Each structure stands twice: as C-alpha cells, then as structure tokens.
Chains A and B, each alone.
Chain A
Amino acid sequence: QITLKESGPTLVKPTQTLRLTCTFSGFSLSTSGVGVGWIRQPPGKALECLALIYWDDDTRYSPYLRSRLTITKDTSKNKVVLTMANMDPVDTGTYYCVQVFNAFDVWGQGTMVTVSS
C-alpha cells in the first residue's frame, strides 16, 4: 500500500520560508520513472503544481514560482522536502504531496498552511 504524509508548520508569517516534508511508504524514489511532487490548493480554488522531483534527480518547477521553490529528496529515508521562500498571504492553502508515475497517482491527505502575521 502506498501512502504519503505531509508535515510542517500550519502557520507562517509573511516573508518567512516554508519548509514542508513528505514522508512516504510503499514505493522507492530509486525506481525508474517514479517521482514525488507538491501540489497546492488555495481555499475554494483550483489545483496548482508547484514542484516535482524524479528518481534520477530531475526537478521541475512551476514557472511562476521557480525563484521561490526548492525541492530535494532523501531516497534512503523516503522523504521529500519542499521549501518556499518569501511567503505571502496569497500562499495560504492546502499543500499536497503526491506520487508521480502514470500521472499524480497517489495523494497525501494534505496539510493546511496559513500565512498571516
């Protein structure tokens, strides 16, 4: 069974850096074709893909947020970390960690992040 779980702060202040961790099980990030991604959803709005990292260390970022994002992986610990700099209230929303293979195959439950002073 594949599971993913997001962890990190629920509240951050404007200009701070957000650090989210995805801890997964049931698959390996060393398997060819497999990746892990971060997708966010502002309240009542659509999904937005932020960043992806693949088994071969290839990374892809949202062109609109590239300068603020960094995604890294620790294959041995089954963890993927997303950092997002210079947080703003418009970044408030639910952040999902997902397994990438055929598409966004399996999703974590999501973690709500609020940006407020």
Chain B
Amino acid sequence: QSVLTQPPSVSAAPGQKVTISCSGSSSNIGNNYVSWYQQLPGTAPKLLIYDNNKRPSGIPDRFSGSKSGTSATLGITGLQTGDEADYYCGTWDSSLSARVFGGGTNLTVL
C-alpha cells in the first residue's frame, strides 16, 4: 500500500476538466512540497508540477496543482485524448525520511 492515497481511476470527456486528488498526512503532504508526474502508456514518467503548483518549462498551463492541509490536487483542463495516462503524486515523508509516491490514477478521456 502506498503512503499517499489516490483514486485508482478518473474519467472525463474531451474538452472537459478533471481533478485528481492525493491524500496524505502531516508527515508528508502537510509539511512538504508535492509534485505530480504523468506516465503515458509504455513510457517513463514526466514531471508535470513541482513545489505544489509550479510547472516546468514546456508544461502547458492546462495542468495545475494545489495543496490544502494534508491533501493535494492536480487539475487538467481542456482534456485531450493524448492526456490519457497514469498520474502520480509524490512528496517527502519526514517520518520515513524518504520520498514517497501515491498509488497512481489512471485517466481515461472518453
């Protein structure tokens, strides 16, 4: 079982908006930055969001991140079929002294 909890799957129609949640505790999300990764089928993960809400160069502003308390959320607007992927949240866990990930969420664009 993962330290961070994500829904196994979400779905939405093209052009719509979807949010993916990531729940943790005070030892991880509550006191550390959250990052998000996109893993397209058969490929390596890619960094989408770091420091809760910052986008690396080249990541479109359709992707956004937020954090409140011990939970974080990834938002994707203007959904495209090319957004179908697994999405992972990650952060530092102070109790474990280790980087941890969520279990991943599979996004389907119907």
Contact = CB atoms under 8 A, between A and B. Distances in A.
A108 B90 CA distance: 18
Contacts, number: 59
Interface in A57-113: 60-63, 96, 102-110
Interface of A is mostly: strand
Contacts of A102: 35, 47, 50-51, 54, 56
B100 interface: yes
A52 B96 CA distance: 14
Contact of A47 (B54, B97, B98, B101): B101
Q: How large is the interface on A (under 10, 10 to 19, 20 to 34, 35 or more residues)?
A: 20 to 34
B67 to A, nearest CB: 14
Nearest to B103: A46
Nearest to A100: B99
Given A102-B51, A105-B56, A46 B104 contact: yes
A104 B54 CA distance: 13
B88 A47 contact: yes
Interface residues of B, number: 23
A52 B88 contact: no
A11 interface: no
A105 to B, nearest CB: 5
A62 B98 contact: yes
Given A105-B47, A105-B56, A63 B96 contact: yes
Nearest to A110: B44
A38 to B, nearest CB: 11
A48 B46 contact: no
B51 A60 contact: no
Interface string B75-100: 00000000000001010000011111
Interface of A: 37, 46-49, 52, 60-63, 96, 102-110
28 contacts: A37-B99, A46-B101, A47-B37, A47-B45, A47-B88, A47-B90, A48-B101, A49-B100, A60-B98, A60-B99, A61-B98, A62-B98, A96-B45, A102-B35, A102-B56, A103-B35, A103-B47, A103-B90, A104-B35, A104-B47, A105-B47, A106-B47, A107-B44, A107-B46, A107-B47, A108-B44, A109-B44, A110-B44
